[in-house]
Amino acid sequence: MEESFNPFKIAQQQLGEAASALGLDAATHELLRWPMHEIKVTLPVRMDDGSTRIFHAFRVQYNTARGPAKGGIRWHPQETIDTVRALAAWMTWKTAVVDIPLGGGKGGVVCNPKELSETEKERLARAYIRALARSMGGARDVPAPDVYTTPQIMAWMMDEYETIVGESHPGVITGKPVALGGSQGRGDATARGGIYVTREAATAHNVDLTGGAMAVMGFGNAGQHAALLGEEILGLRLIAASDSKGGVLNPGGIDTKTLIEFKRKTGMLRGFPGAEPISNEDLLEQEVAVLFPAALENVITRENAPRIRCRICCELANGPTTPEADVILAEKGIIVLPDFLANAGGVTVSYFEQVQNAYNLYWELQEVHWRLDKKMTRAFASVLEMSRRSRIGLRQAAYLVAVARVAEACKLRGWV
Ligand code: NAD
């Protein structure tokens, strides 16, 4: 049978397995299989040369039983409604597994940000909010950054929303710059959460990570911070990293800070002195203690899974492993930290940002780190406990914990 790469079909398949393990009734399962609300908008945007371009964009509010929809906005040329639906479903399970009072949502704009000037990005960001403002708000739906969207883009979006409603509403969007009500510690939160979960998993499985190698696919926000914190907190050393243009490898070790500076200056990793070029495919197959897929979906498939040689795979990206590949990794004894648990640090600090905005009172960085560590450690412990009690893998255990919580909220509301 052909392997499915449609992320929404994969999300539905993963939910299906959880629904049968939990013995969910048919109505609850069907409710959780679909977004409760999805919006398609068409955005005319003036380009710098005076022409008008039309952009297609989406917002999916998947499930709001546990609280307002929450999820990033991705700008990508290959964005589709099914990708946004899958990401919104995973957000629903993510907020539930870390037990924060939010639902799941996601947004997407079909565009190539690399071809847009800063002023064109600003007009596109504002157009997106004008089209969707009525469906947004701290009590409805709160967006955040995702692939190729930044704190600056969040700042323009917040400003547009506040201009429309005529009041201050910093909590309408998270991942803002700190100067505009963003939280300390949001920048590295996704990676930091993943590192805390990796630490807990290593302890639970008696794996000593000190001095071990790590490889990072996708050297962006999540990937760069994973490399920095992997070194700082876990004592790992970076041997390979890649981005959309290819990667670099040095089995003797790569200095992360110098590599980040090189990418900032040149816009790529290729050509980094003292390292050899490596393809994204080969990077995944390096022998490492921890592999961080931190780019896009479906990069570990049944084709390359037999050649993956890490001890722990910390899924910072959403949906990097197909269900068929998952089975193969489990047979090989690889500890896979599932995406919606491993990368939940971002939404957790986004939630902290909303709380601080609501109180108009801001926390020190140490307080953010301490609270994040507590949330991630507790979430991992409940998933590990479920995995051991039910003799299932961590991904399935994370699904059981999260889906049971969302199903309970739907029942308590009298929806099913
Ligand atoms: P980003 O835009 O900062 O970085 C993405 C990186 O991936 C870039 O370096 C890009 O060059 C690289 N990339 C793109 N296509 C690639 C390819 N085909 N092969 C290899 N590299 C490729 O995005 P980010 O915020 O770091 O997000 C990365 C992943 O983490 C996504 O799956 C996102 O959904 C997930 N995630 C991010 C956050 C967050 O808070 N930033 C939270 C949860 C999950």
The CATH number of whichever domain residue 153 belongs to comes to: 3.40.50.10860
Residue 373 lies in a domain: no
Residue nearest to ligand 1 atom 16, measured at CA: 244
Residues 159, 240, single domain; the answer is no
CB 52 within 8 A of CB 45: yes
Enumerate helices (H) and strands (E) in the chain, giving the number of each. 14, 12
Give me the chain's average pLDDT, please: 97
Closest ligand 1 atom to residue 263 Cα is 9
The predicted model gives 314-339 an average pLDDT of 96
Using pLDDT thresholds of 50, 70 and 90, give the confidence band for residue 71.
very high
Residue 415 lies in a domain: no
Q: Which of 97, 221, 314, 351 to mutate to test the pocket of ligand 1 (most atoms within 8 A of CB)?
A: 221
The predicted model gives 56-79 an average pLDDT of 97
Residue 20 lies in a domain: no
CB 396 within 8 A of CB 19: no
Residues 201, 162, single domain; the answer is no
Residues 157, 240, single domain; the answer is no
Domain span at 70? 37-169
C-alpha–C-alpha distance, residues 237 and 65, integer Å: 42
| Domain end marker among 285, 317, 342 | 342
Residue 42 lies in a domain: yes
Residues 160, 202, single domain; the answer is no
Closest ligand 1 atom to residue 350 Cα is 40
Residue 376 lies in a domain: no
| Per-residue pLDDT tens digits for 28-52 | 999 999 999 999 999 999 999 999 9
Residue 386 lies in a domain: no
Would you please indicate which residues are annotated as catalytic (active-site) residues?
A: 106
- The dihedral region occupied by 253, where left means phi > 0, alpha psi between -120 and 50, and beta the remainder, is left
| Per-residue pLDDT tens digits for 56-65 | 999 999 999 9
Closest ligand 1 atom to residue 247 Cα is 20
Number of domains in the chain: 2
Residue nearest to ligand 1 atom 17, measured at CA: 244
- Residue 1 has a pLDDT of 58
Element holding 335 (H helix, E strand): strand 335-337
CB 191 within 8 A of CB 349: no
Q: Is 6 exposed, middle or buried (0-12, 13-18, 19+ CB in 10 A)?
A: middle
| Domain end marker among 342, 364, 393 | 342
Residue 126 lies in a domain: yes
Ligand 1: does its nearest atom lie under 6 Å from the Cβ of 224? no
Using pLDDT thresholds of 50, 70 and 90, give the confidence band for residue 296.
confident
Residue 10 lies in a domain: no
